[in-house]
Homo-oligomer: A and B are copies of this chain.
Amino acid sequence: MKTLTVALGERSYPIFIGQGLLANPELVRPHVRAKQVCIVTNETIAPLYLAQTRALFSGFDITEVILPDGEQYKTLDVLNQIFDQLLAKRCDRRVTLVALGGGVIGDMTGFAAACYQRGVPFIQIPTTLLSQVDSSVGGKTGVNHALGKNMIGAFYQPQCVLIDIDTLKTLEDRQLSAGLAEVVKYGLINDLPFFEWLEDKAEALYQRDPSALIEAVAHCCQNKADVVAADEQESGVRALLNLGHTFGHAIETGLGYGECLHGEAVAIGMCLAAEMSAKHGWISAAEVQRVRRLLVRMHLPTTIPADISCEQMQNLMKVDKKVMDGQIRLVLMQKFGQSVLTSDYDSALLQDTLNTGYTEAA
A323 partner, pick from B90, B145, B325, beta carbons under 8 A: B90
**Inter-subunit contact B116/A318 (CB<8 Å):** no
State whether the Cβ of A155 lies closer than 8 Å to any Cβ in chain B.
yes
**Inter-subunit contact A142/B154 (CB<8 Å):** no
Given A87-B148, A147-B87, A233-B119, A35 and B92 contact (CB-CB distance below 8 Å): no
State whether the Cβ of A237 lies closer than 8 Å to any Cβ in chain B.
no
Q: Which positions 28-52 of chain A face chain B at CB distance < 8 Å?
A: 34-35
State whether the Cβ of A152 lies closer than 8 Å to any Cβ in chain B.
yes
**Dominant secondary structure of chain A at its interface with chain B:** mixed
With an 8 Å Cβ cutoff, the count of chain A residues facing the other chain is: 37
**Inter-subunit contact A118/B87 (CB<8 Å):** no
A152 partner, pick from B83, B94, B155, B233, beta carbons under 8 A: B83
**Inter-subunit contact A140/B118 (CB<8 Å):** yes
Q: Which positions 126-153 of chain A face chain B at CB distance < 8 Å?
A: 140, 142, 145, 147-148, 151-153
Q: Which positions 78-137 of chain A face chain B at CB distance < 8 Å?
A: 79-80, 83-84, 87-88, 90, 92-94, 114-119
CB<8 Å pairs between A and B, sample of 24? A35-B325, A76-B80, A80-B145, A83-B152, A87-B145, A87-B151, A87-B319, A88-B147, A90-B323, A90-B326, A93-B321, A93-B324, A115-B142, A115-B152, A115-B153, A116-B151, A116-B152, A117-B151, A118-B140, A118-B153, A118-B233, A118-B321, A119-B154, A154-B154
| Chain A residues at the B interface, C-beta cutoff of 8 Å | 34-35, 76, 79-80, 83-84, 87-88, 90, 92-94, 114-119, 140, 142, 145, 147-148, 151-155, 233, 318-319, 321, 323-326
